[in-house]
Structure 1
């Protein structure tokens, strides 16, 4: 599947609910980076207000997607395309399931349905002085999960801000060290752990065994945490292909309690480093 900004930020997010609970700011102010991103989805993507792009997108906006235009031109192209499509229904459910902020980085986890297909999407934005300056993403088609209690995106969505961000981050870091060193992961995974990741479930392996498969080598680029949620942005190699790999962990009482992921192969004509 070709990676394009029009697809991941456009086609996917046309389902962003117009009534999304994000503050509708039209000028620079003191809102958080997470609120700024949610407002971007609402006003630029949902309401297609191209005239507000200069209030959200930095002139030197960097798209870590080599197949699309850089800067504001790429966002403008997306919005102009969206204007040719029917607007989302007023009662449309927002596809944004989770939003996690760590300093100048904001991660959104989306569940998108389009043309009979359902996809999990993770967007990662970097902001500076309230402006979006960089964007990364990954998209993964999902299997039919009709009737299933546990799906690729459901589970707890609200962040526990009473939880220690640094403790949550440390648990995930230590878990990955145990995977790399091929040590037992029992210290880090809760007995009632819930696996949401479609690829992990399909493998028939536990999370640690999935990550430690002989033909897989994982390289973590970023680790983003807020409260009890931790996101890893990484890459791995499998069968001669490189994949962009995002994981979301929920930590409870010092152990990993839930796990979601989105993985996407890097196209052959794209430099891997350009994706990160």
Structure 2
């Protein structure tokens, strides 16, 4: 099994309830960054057992899967025990023994199509076999210059005119759609702030950036997936999640 196969097999144990499979895939010292769950392999196995016992079966629908060195990153739709569909990005780190040793994620409720009629998960599926380091470089620079606001005057240089396919639930296509959405937020006194970026993973012409900031004053985790074409950003998917108050955390590993 490739690392990608292993990551997909692990998330499918939520649907199958196969704790033996999960145990074989996980490192004993598994580090969990989803703050709603305990850390360690046994805590993960407990979650699989709990979901298997629920009256409504959990469903797992992977949309896209990528690999970058010792990490795999996935875009998936979950419905945990009938609680409602959630769109998620998962990141798994593998140790030198090929075991899954660490996990980060961001989840948000599945929403209606955005103003351009696009959903959180549709769009281009094909991956170009280009240099991932070039993709990482472009995505890292865009996140710093534009999202963190270090060089906002460079915004238009990252795009081919108004060509920009947008899957954010509240924003229409194009730089024009992005501008209109930010203007509307500004009128409501809502600020979308990116303070720090922790990871930029890349596979072919796709790059995922993991950042911390705030949205409307709420402590927020941002996962942004970009597709790059001919050196320009052409498509974007994201999941924003409000970070729970520390008093509710089930582990102390932190979100990032």
TM-score category of the 2 structures, normalised to the smaller one: 0.7 to 0.9
Aligned to 1:174: 141
Q: How much has 1:239 moved relative to structure 2?
A: 3.5
Q: Partners in 1 of 2:100 and 2:180 — Cα distance?
A: 33
Classify 1:146/1:229 alpha carbon distance in 2 versus 1 (closer, same or farther; 3 Å). Answer: closer
Is 1:78 the equivalent of 2:47?
Answer: yes
Are the counterparts in 2 of residues 142 and 198 from structure 1 also a CA contact under 8 Å? no
Q: 1:82-101 alignment to 2 at 5 Å?
A: 82-85=51-54, 95-101=61-67
Aligned to 1:155: 123
Q: Partners in 2 of 1:78 and 1:268 — Cα distance?
A: 21
Classify 1:58/1:273 alpha carbon distance in 2 versus 1 (closer, same or farther; 3 Å). Answer: closer
Q: Secondary structure of 2:63's partner?
A: strand
Q: 1:49-198 alignment to 2 at 5 Å?
A: 49-85=18-54, 95-113=61-79, 115=82, 117-128=84-95, 129-145=97-113, 149-161=117-129, 163-179=130-146, 180-190=150-160, 191-198=162-169
Are the counterparts in 2 of residues 48 and 82 from structure 1 also a CA contact under 8 Å? yes
Classify 1:215/1:147 alpha carbon distance in 2 versus 1 (closer, same or farther; 3 Å). Answer: closer
Q: Secondary structure of 2:135's partner?
A: helix
Q: How much has 1:159 moved relative to structure 2?
A: 2.1
Question: What do the CA deviations read for 1:193-240 (whole angstroms, capped 9, x no partner)?
Answer: 1000114459x6349969x98661331000000001000011112343
Q: Secondary structure of 1:65's partner?
A: coil
Aligned to 1:238: 215
Q: Secondary structure of 2:14's partner?
A: helix
Q: Partners in 2 of 1:197 and 1:209 — Cα distance?
A: 12
**Unpaired stretches in structure 2, ≥5 consecutive residues:** none
Classify 1:126/1:144 alpha carbon distance in 2 versus 1 (closer, same or farther; 3 Å). Answer: same
Is 1:254 the equivalent of 2:254?
Answer: no
Q: Partners in 2 of 1:249 and 1:151 — Cα distance?
A: 15
Classify 1:240/1:273 alpha carbon distance in 2 versus 1 (closer, same or farther; 3 Å). Answer: farther
Classify 1:172/1:207 alpha carbon distance in 2 versus 1 (closer, same or farther; 3 Å). Answer: farther
Aligned to 2:255: 275
The two structures have a TM-score, normalised by structure 2, of: 0.81
Q: Secondary structure of 1:263's partner?
A: strand
**Unpaired stretches in structure 1, ≥5 consecutive residues:** 1-30
Q: How much has 1:86 moved relative to structure 2?
A: 5.7
Aligned to 2:17: 48
Classify 1:95/1:241 alpha carbon distance in 2 versus 1 (closer, same or farther; 3 Å). Answer: same
The two structures have a TM-score, normalised by structure 1, of: 0.76
Instruction: Count residues with an aligned counterpart.
Output: 240
